């Protein structure tokens, strides 16, 4: 699985867009980029995934660079409830397999 690198912490003002970067320069062609988040005392929550095209759902947008070596998760209008640890993960396509979690980015939303 690809090793990912994320900043240990970030903060963002409530109502603004939160942009969380992830470097995955060793990602292989058959690996998706997944994002999960973990709110305090809860299990990880799936946010979004993508292979090479940008993706958007009701929670967030995922922008993947053309060379697939990095990506950015965008929370368009951050709220206090978005305070969590965000994990960027490289995971093989089309197979049930383990997730290797790194340390993630601790995102704090300030009022």
Partner 1 sequence: GAGVSQTPSNKVTEKGKYVELRCDPISGHTALYWYRQSLGQGPEFLIYFQGTGAADDSGLPNDRFFAVRPEGSVSTLKIQRTERGDSAVYLCASSPGTSGRADTQYFGPGTRLTVL
Which residues contribute to the site for partner 1 (CB under 8 A)?
A: 32, 34, 42-46, 49, 51, 85, 87, 91, 93-104
Q: Which is nearer to partner 1, 74 or 101 (CB)?
A: 101
Shortest reach from residue 16's CB to partner 1, in Å = 26
Q: Which is nearer to partner 1, 14 or 61 (CB)?
A: 61
Partners of 86 in the β-ladder: 37, 105
Shortest reach from residue 2's CB to partner 1, in Å = 15
**Chain Cα centroid distance, residue 50:** 10
Q: Which is nearer to partner 1, 81 or 98 (CB)?
A: 98
Phi, psi for residue 104 in degrees, rounded to 5:
75, 180
Neighbours of 92 (CB within 10 A): 14
DSSP string covering 82-93: G-EEEEEEEEET
Shortest reach from residue 11's CB to partner 1, in Å = 19
Q: Can you give the C-alpha Rg of the chain in angstroms?
A: 13
């Amino acid at each position: 699985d690809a090793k990912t690198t994320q900043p240990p912490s970030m903060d963002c003002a409530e109502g603004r867009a939160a942009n969380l970067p992830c470097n995955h320069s060793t990602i292989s062609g058959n690996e998706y980029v997944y994002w999960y988040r973990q709110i305090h005392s809860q299990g990880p929550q799936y946010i979004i995934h993508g292979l090479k095209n940008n993706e958007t759902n009701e929670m967030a947008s995922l922008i993947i660079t053309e060379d697939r070596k990095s990506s950015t998760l965008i929370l368009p209008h951050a709220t206090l409830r978005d305070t969590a640890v965000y994990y960027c993960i490289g995971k093989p396509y089309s197979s049930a397999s383990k997730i290797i979690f790194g340390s993630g980015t601790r995102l704090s939303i300030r009022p």
